[in-house]
């Protein structure tokens, strides 16, 4: 496949890239840019481990072709902290032990940030519903909900 130019802002940096049109955003991030914080769990939209933000909205990066992010802004887990200061949602996951093995955590946190930002964290049930696309094999769900509920404040 012929590569196409791709101008995209990733974690605040404007990048001029070249990608094949079949490449997913997930593979671009992990394989080409070595931003391996974003995880590949299922690679077909079922686990949420690959969740990132495109123009501030969460997407499953395994279901997003990289070329569709032309002119857009992508944020990954690597771009959430401000220098040495973790994002409040990252702090909350630490405080409430919102993980066990940690594999799903980047995706959980990227979803959780949107959950709060979009106003879906008014009750534990709302959080569970919004976060239902992020699977945790360890079953840390109750702590994840606690973390999200606490970080909304
Ligand atoms: Fe994208 Fe599972 S890797 S949803």
Per-residue pLDDT for the chain (153 aa), expressed as one digit of tens each?
899 999 999 999 999 999 999 999 999 999 999 999 999 999 999 999 999 999 999 999 999 999 999 999 999 999 999 999 999 999 999 999 999 999 999 999 999 999 999 999 999 999 999 999 999 999 999 999 999 999 976
Gap between the Cα atoms of 75 and 54, Å rounded = 7
- Round to whole Å and give the CA distance between 94 and 97: 5
Binding pocket residue ranges, ligand 1, CB within 6 Å: 40-43, 45-50, 60, 62
Task: Report the interhelical angle of 88-95 vs 105-117 (nearest 10°).
Answer: 120
Beta strand ranges found along 11-145 (DSSP E): 13-19, 51-54, 57-60, 73-75
Measured in Å, residue 42 CA sits from the centre of ligand 1 at 5
Q: Which of 36, 47, 64 to mutate to test the pocket of ligand 1 (most atoms within 8 A of CB)?
A: 47
Q: Which of 45, 66, 137 to mutate to test the pocket of ligand 1 (most atoms within 8 A of CB)?
A: 45
Q: Which atom of ligand 1 is found nearest the CA of 60?
A: 1
CATH 1.10.150.120 occupies which residues in the chain? Answer: 88-151
Exposure letters 113-141 (e unless 16+ CB within 10 A, then b) = bbbbeeebbeeeebbeebbeebbbeeebb
3-state SS, residue 83:
coil
Residue ranges, CATH 3.10.20.30, the chain: 4-79
C-alpha of residue 44 to centroid of ligand 1, in Å: 5
Closest-CA residue, ligand 1 atom 4, reads 45
pTM for the model: 0.96
**CATH code that applies to domain 4-79:** 3.10.20.30
Check: CATH 1.10.150.120 for 88-151? yes
Which tokens sit at 71?
Answer: 């002119």
According to DSSP H, which parts of the chain are helical?
25-27, 88-95, 105-117, 124-130, 141-151
């Amino acid at each position: 496949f012929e590569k196409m130019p791709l101008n995209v802002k990733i974690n605040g940096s404007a990048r001029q890239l070249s990608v094949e049109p079949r490449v997913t955003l997930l593979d671009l991030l992990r394989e080409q840019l070595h931003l391996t914080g974003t995880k590949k769990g299922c690679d077909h939209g079922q686990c949420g481990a690959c969740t990132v933000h495109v123009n501030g909205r969460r997407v499953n990066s395994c279901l997003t072709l990289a070329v569709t992010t032309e002119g857009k802004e992508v944020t990954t887990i690597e771009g959430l902290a401000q220098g040495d200061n973790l994002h409040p949602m990252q702090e909350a996951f630490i405080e409430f032990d919102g993980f066990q093995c940690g594999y799903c955590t980047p995706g959980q946190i990227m979803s959780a940030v949107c959950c709060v930002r979009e106003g879906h964290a008014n009750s534990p049930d709302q959080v569970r519903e919004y976060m239902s696309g992020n699977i945790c094999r360890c079953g840390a769900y109750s702590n994840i909900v606690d973390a999200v509920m606490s970080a909304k404040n």
